[in-house]
Amino acid sequence: MPIATVNPATGETLQTFDALDAAGIERRVAAADAAFRDYRTTSFDRRAALLRRAADLLEQDQEDIARTMTTEMGKPITAARAEAAKCVKAMRWYAANAERLLADEHPPQDQVRDAGAVHARVHYRPLGPVLAVMPWNFPLWQVVRFAAPALMAGNTGLLKHASNVPRTALYLEDLFRRAGYPEGVFQTLLIGSGAVEGILRDPRVAAATLTGSEPAGRSVASIAGDEIKKTVLELGGSDPYVVMPSADVDRAADVAVTARVQNNGQSCIAAKRFIVHTDVYDAFAERFTAGMAALTVGDPMDESTDVGPLASEQGRDGLEELVDEAVRGGAAVLCGGRRPEGRERGWYYAPTVLAGITPAMRIHQEETFGPVATLYRAADLDEAVRLANDTYFGLSSNVWTRDEEDVRRFVRDLEAGGVYVNGMTASHPALPFGGVKRSGYGRELSGHGIKEFCNATTVWQAA
């Protein structure tokens, strides 16, 4: 894939970029390694001051970077502004909390004595340069949620961003440079996916984090495993959205629309499979379908647009194939199911609701990365749990119920990294984020995320 900015609303290539050659990659890896030797010894106060400055600059740049993101991957401009604001919030949160999260841990003194020591503690140290392989769907947030904790822990960062968001990638390097970070602490690598293996195998690169597709995760994990290097993977999701009889069905249906089409439906944590108890299925389906059908599809720069284009022609065509295959297999189209009229240019797809999904259909297992929802009818709680878990993925989940016994069962039995009750999944810097099964492993955000790229060092001292 060429490294280029292509406007998905028009299909027009706006700018192409040359990939770094081997010498350029070597210079940047060497710079990250050299910078780490000094940066790792800086104080938390110094790191926090730098990160706060980056947050201030990003806040000032909000409109410009929002327009860049919308131009490169098609999210509505209102969502792009919100993404930038979320990054500012996360930066400030880590600047305020990193020192506390990485404070030395002291076991009880009787356990210290039992270990034969006078003093013992756990001390957290940074690992070194971390390679971040990041996706296009949240081109600012995905990077910041890695970079803010990693840099606050004392690591340096090497960003390999998706090839269709190079302007955003270069902006991020410039942002940290303007904030005053030393040379080499955070760098963007304009490279294709074929160059990742060589960088990951470089002994100066300590670890890697990847957010992206399952095949990309398998590739990075296998290389890192061969090199015995730490990885964090956040891969696909096919999140269930379960509605039980005691739920506020109208509220659940309204939130379901947002949960499905956030970021034009191109979000790993977007609700995708809507599993509704038979007692409330008809009421939910009617309101949810009406809400999806009423969405405004259009120019993502227009303030009134709810759903913009998909990020690539390949993505739109792949989604279309999933829907068409399901329809040929007997699925019912409650709304959408086609490219919207009047949108011949660009990679648009109408908000779609499908019912009558069977396990034989690809859409039952494969992730739908776009504004397409699948509806399932569940006879009882046991069937709802079974349907929810009937996927290779396990990123997050949504449950709507006022019954505490329902909540207990879902929290116990759902195979996912999160259970959101009476609300939609959303990431927050204070809460760990990640999944199980083929959604990956490790956690981002919170104290769990900042410790992923730290060496938990046992310090044992005798008299």
Catalytic center residues: 234, 268
Residue 461's beta-bridge partner residues?
119
Distances, alpha carbon 20 to alpha carbons 28, 188, 194, 316, in Å: 10, 10, 12, 29
> Could you tell me whether strands 239-243 and 398-400 are parallel, antiparallel, or unpaired per DSSP bridges?
parallel
Please name which of 242, 225, 234 lies closest in space to residue 382, comparing C-alpha atoms: 242
Judge whether 145 and 157 are in contact, CB under 8 Å. Answer: no
Contact 8, 312 (CB under 8 A): yes
Q: What is d(CA 305, CA 303) in angstroms, rounded to the nearest whole number?
A: 6
The C-alpha atoms of residue 101 and residue 214 are separated, in whole angstroms, by 31
Q: Residue 187 has which token pair?
A: 């760098």
Dihedral angle at the C-alpha atoms of 88, 128, 234, 172, nearest 10 degrees? Answer: 40
393-394 and 398-400 strand pairing: unpaired
Question: Strand ranges (DSSP E) for 175-293?
Answer: 186-188, 207-211, 230-234, 239-243, 271-277
Rg of the chain taking only CA atoms, in angstroms: 23
Which residue in 397, 370, 372, 367 sits closest to 385, CA to CA? 397
In this structure, are residues 427 and 145 in contact, taking their beta carbons and an 8 Å threshold? yes
- Give the pairing type, strands 119-126 and 454-461: antiparallel
CA 271 from chain center: how many Å?
A: 14
